C-alpha cells in the first residue's frame, strides 16, 4: 500500500464525547432537551432569540469544564509531526482541538467562542454571554452565536473541497454521517482515489463508503492509529 502524504481529518461530536461534551443525536433526537430546529436554525432564532442565546450561553459556559482527551492530543501530534500535509476540519463548535495543541483547525460549523453581527456579519472573539441586547460595536446590529445552523452554508467550503480533492488518506472520527455536506466528504475523497478510514463506536450511515472502520472509543483508536502512521513514516525515512 502506498504511504499517504496528504491527510484529511474530519471530526465530529464523538471526538469530544469522552471530554464530557454531549453529542447531538442522542436519545430521542433531542439536544440537551431541545428539538434541534428549536435551537439550531434561523427560524428557531427568529421565533425565540432569548432561548437560543441562553442555550449557547450554557454551552459556552461549560467549555472550560471540559478538557481535551487523548484523541485531540493525538490529532495535534499528527499535525505537528507528520511530514506531509494534514488538514483538520471539525464539525464541532468547541475549542478542544485548539486546547489539545492543534496548530490549525477549520471549524466548518462555526465556533462557540465567537459571535457574529447579524447586520454587518463581522465575526469577533466572544467568551461571555450573549443576549438580545448585545450589540455590535461597529454597526449596532444584533450579535448572534457564530454557529452554522440548519439551512445555513457551512464555512470554508472552497478550501475544504480543495483539500478533499488532493488528499490520499481521509479519516472521519466520531461523526454519525447524517449531516451534509460533511456526510458526503467520504464519497468525494474516495472518488479522488483516497483511502478512507472511519473511527466510531458503531457503524454509521456512511460506513459502507469507507475502506476500513475501526470500532471503539476515539481516545483509544485514534492515538493507536497516529502512532502507526508516524512509525510507518519513520521506517521509510
Other Cβ atoms within 10 Å of 98 Cβ, number: 18
Interface with ligand APR by CB under 6 A: which range of 15-23, 55-63, 132-140, 186-194? 15-23
178 binds ligand APR (CB under 6 A): yes
201 binds ligand APR (CB under 6 A): yes
> Distance (Å, rounded) from C-alpha 197 to C-alpha 115?
34
Please confirm, yes or no, whether 109 is among the known catalytic residues: yes
CB 145 to ligand APR: min, Å: 12
List the one residue out of 65, 123, 54 whose CA is nearest residue 96: 65
Q: Are strands 85-90 and 6-11 parallel, antiparallel or unpaired?
A: parallel
* 8 Å CB contact between 37 and 150: yes
> Distance (Å, rounded) from C-alpha 223 to C-alpha 184?
25
CB 17 to ligand APR: min, Å: 4
Given 4, 14, 145, 223, the residue binding ligand APR (CB under 6 A): 14
105 binds ligand APR (CB under 6 A): no
The catalytically annotated residue of 97, 107, 109, 209 is: 109
Which residues are paired to 9 by β-bridges?
Answer: 88, 171
Question: Contact positions toward ligand APR, by CB under 6 A?
Answer: 12-14, 17-18, 23-25, 36, 91, 109, 174-176, 178-179, 199-202, 204, 217-218
Amino acid at each position: 500500500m502506498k504511504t499517504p502524504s496528504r491527510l484529511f481529518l474530519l471530526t465530529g461530536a464523538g471526538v469530544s464525547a469522552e471530554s464530557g461534551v454531549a453529542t447531538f443525536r442522542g436519545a430521542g433526537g433531542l439536544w440537551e432537551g431541545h428539538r434541534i430546529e428549536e435551537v439550531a436554525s434561523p427560524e428557531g432564532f427568529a421565533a425565540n432569540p432569548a432561548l437560543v442565546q441562553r442555550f449557547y450561553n450554557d454551552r459556552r459556559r461549560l467549555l472550560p469544564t471540559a478538557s481535551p482527551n487523548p484523541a485531540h492530543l493525538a490529532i495535534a501530534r499528527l499535525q505537528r509531526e507528520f511530514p506531509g500535509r494534514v488538514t483538520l476540519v471539525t464539525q464541532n463548535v468547541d475549542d478542544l482541538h485548539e486546547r489539545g495543541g492543534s496548530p490549525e483547525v477549520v471549524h466548518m460549523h462555526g465556533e462557540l467562542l465567537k459571535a457574529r453581527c447579524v447586520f454587518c456579519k463581522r465575526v469577533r472573539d466572544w467568551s461571555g454571554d450573549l443576549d438580545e441586547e448585545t450589540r455590535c460595536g461597529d454597526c449596532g446590529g444584533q450579535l448572534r452565536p457564530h454557529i452554522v445552523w440548519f439551512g445555513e452554508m457551512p464555512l470554508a467550503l472552497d478550501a475544504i473541497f480543495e483539500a478533499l480533492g488532493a488528499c490520499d488518506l481521509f479519516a472521519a472520527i466520531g461523526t454519525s454521517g447524517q449531516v451534509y455536506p460533511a456526510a458526503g466528504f467520504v464519497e468525494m475523497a474516495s472518488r479522488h482515489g483516497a483511502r478512507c478510514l472511519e473511527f466510531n463506536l458503531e457503524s454509521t450511515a456512511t460506513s459502507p463508503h469507507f475502506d476500513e472502520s475501526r470500532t471503539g472509543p476515539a481516545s483509544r483508536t485514534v492515538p493507536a492509529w497516529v502512532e502507526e502512521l508516524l512509525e510507518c513514516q519513520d521506517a521509510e525515512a
